Every structure is written in C-alpha cells, then in structure tokens.
Amino acid sequence: MKTLVIGANGQIGRQFCALAAEAQLPIRAMVRNTGQTPWFSERGIETVIADLEGDFRQAAEGCDEILFTAGSGPTTGADKTLLIDLLGAIRSIDLADAMAMRRFIMVSALRAEDPMQAPEALRPYAAAKHAADRILRQSATPHLILKPGKLTDEPASGRITTRPATVSHITVSRGNVALALLVAAKQPLIGNTEVELLDGGDPVEHLFS
C-alpha cells in the first residue's frame, strides 16, 4: 500500500518520510520544486513535484492512501491558511474520494475541536483544521485523524498519551507525531478513527491498542 505524503518537506513530513524509508514502507513524497528533492533522493525516497495550489492529481497516481501533513506555516497570513490548510486539504480529500483510495490520514490539531478556544493568532489555523476534519468525516474514504497538541522540537521520546486529561500539558514533539504516523502507516486497516496525541508515558507502538 503506497502512501502519498502531502507536506513531505515540512518538519513532521521529513521525519515521517525518513522513518518510513528506514522501515521500507512504500511512500511517495510530494514536494513543490526540484530544489527540495535531493534530501529525499539521498534516502531513496520516491518524490513527485506538485503544488497544492495547482493540479496535483498526477502525484497520487498509483497510491492507495494520502497522508496530509501540509501547512502554510507560521510566517504566512490567513490567506495562505485558507488556500493550504483548508482548501488544500479539501481538494486532497476530494482526490482520495475520486480515486477510491483506501484511507486518508489527516494531521489535524487538538485545538481544532473548538477553534474559538485557541489563542487568537491561531484561530484561523484551528478553524481551517476544524472544517477540513468535518469534511473528511463525511467523505467516502476511510479516515484517520491525528490531533497533536502544541508542537515542539524536542527529540522524539517514543512515549505518548491519547488522553489529554491525564497530563498537565498540551505539548507533543514533532518527532513523536512522526512516530505515531509511522505506527499508523504500518496498520492500513485502522480507519474511521480519531486520536488525540500528547507527550506522555505510553509506548507509541501501543497507539491503537
């Protein structure tokens, strides 16, 4: 089962792709331009050049699922949040439906549950995630929605929790998110599931236990 990774050149995307390559999972990294391909080629990772703001159907040919971890980033405005985090996600979901894919994995956000409770500066992002998640739930493609908390650059510990009420923080390392995505990619039958994710004390391998 080959996975198209949309947002492969992002911080979580790169870590996931490296882990997937080490595990010999079949993936295809979608990147925006040729300048982004060497990092992936050096690791033996298949790449395809496509843009979420353009026609990217050809990027998904031959793939069985989509992993969406794209984001406009903190330095852009609400316009790019709409075009990438919302419309880009919706178009990706529509593509998965049209191609009758087996699954769509969405990297969402813990605060997407209630965007108005997010810090004011993050509300457009949380609202985009909220809307994209709702559309994904109603799509024809089986889905897995991963909802990480506030992202950090701490090294991956391999220890997480899916029960936010059991910890006194709302953070999770990008490395642990990538590890959780690897666990998901290894279990193609997991679908129509939503998981909250924070750093914690449980082995990430038990994510779906």
Give the active site residues.
125
Whether residue 29 contacts residue 17, with contact meaning beta carbons closer than 8 Å, is answered with: yes
Q: Which residue is it, tokens 């992202």?
A: 151
Radius of gyration of the chain from its Cα atoms, rounded to whole angstroms: 16
What three-state secondary structure class fits 195?
A: strand
User: For 103-173, where are the alpha helices, taking DSSP H only?
Assistant: 123-137
Dig out the tokens for 22 from the structure.
């080490």
State the burial class of residue 67 (Cβ atoms within 10 Å of its Cβ: 0-12, 13-18, 19+). Answer: buried
Whether residue 186 contacts residue 23, with contact meaning beta carbons closer than 8 Å, is answered with: yes
